[in-house]
Amino acid sequence: MTSKSGYPVPDAKLQIANGYNLEFDTLARLLDMVCRDERGRIPMSDLASAMGVADRQAKHLSALANLLGLTEQITYKPTSFGRLVKERDPFCDDLGTLWFIHYVIGSDPRAIIWNRIVNAIIPKQPRFTRERLRVTFDDLREWFSDDSIKKHVLKEINTFLNAYTNQAFARLVYLRAEGEWYSLGYREPIPSLVLAASIAHFRGDRRAGDTAVSIPDLCSAPNSPGVVFQLPEDNLRLMLEELKTQSGISLESRADLDQIRISPDLSDVELMKRYYDSR
């Protein structure tokens, strides 16, 4: 389904974090536990015990872990990327890890608050306040009750803003806070292989079966790396030039072709492995 503004809302979730902060040391304990557990589905009480939080908080932090690409949605088992993070960067200290999971959650329409802020609000509003963000979600009353809107929208906005100004995402300098105002920051550099992993993720989620992705789409399509990272086209093209030296990746910019081609066996996880190996 789509909103009156044309914004897609498939399987959207207003209540993800429910006001809890995105604390990566807590998620590290979650990831350690699920990577060691051999059961098919892990009880929420066990997740809560591993994280040292109440069941309610564990439920919402587990939902965040899923939207960050670290765990499966129902079983809470680790994804292949989650296992890679557990092995290479369990506390998400590396900027490349942070940029990639920023892309994963920012490009996921299920996380409607995060997704819309990253895709539709920040690109158009250089400065904003919490209240200005809140009112942009009033159209969601088409699908959600007034009570849900009042209970959950501001909580998710608060978690988002806290994540990028007080938690580990602050190290990306994606957002900066000045009093009640927020604006796009100067941004720490995005490693080119992390961009490649994000392109592969974009290809897999939105263009399954394709090996090539058009560069105009990468720059401006909804949920694309160019939009989620807020990368100007010139910067993105320079980074793509760096990537064409990587095996399995080529640029095709001739005649009517303007695209990047990534080998089908190079998934986002394989490219993140390559990134970790290159550090």
In terms of residue numbers, what domain contains 234? 192-278
Q: What tokens does 242 get?
A: 């760096």
Query: In this structure, are strands 212-214 and 127-128 parallel, antiparallel, or unpaired?
Result: unpaired
Asked whether residue 24 falls in the same domain as residue 116, the answer is yes
The CATH number of whichever domain residue 268 belongs to comes to: 1.10.10.10
Summary count for the chain: helices (H), strands (E): 14, 6
Residue-wise pLDDT tens digits, 45-62: 999 999 999 999 999 999
CA distance 84 to 277: 12
Q: Identify the three-state secondary structure at position 249.
A: strand
Residue-wise pLDDT tens digits, 18-37: 899 999 999 999 999 999 98
Q: What tokens does 56 get?
A: 């309610």
Is the Cβ–Cβ distance between 202 and 107 less than 8 Å?
A: yes
Beta bridge partners of 63: none
Q: What is the arithmetic mean of pLDDT over 243-255?
A: 90
Residue carrying the six token digits 């990639």: 100
pLDDT at residue 8 tops 70: no
pLDDT at residue 101 tops 60: yes
- Of 129, 163, 188, the residue at which a domain comes to its end is 188
Residue-wise pLDDT tens digits, 185-235: 999 999 999 999 999 999 987 666 778 999 999 999 999 999 999 999 999
Asked whether residue 184 falls in the same domain as residue 213, the answer is no
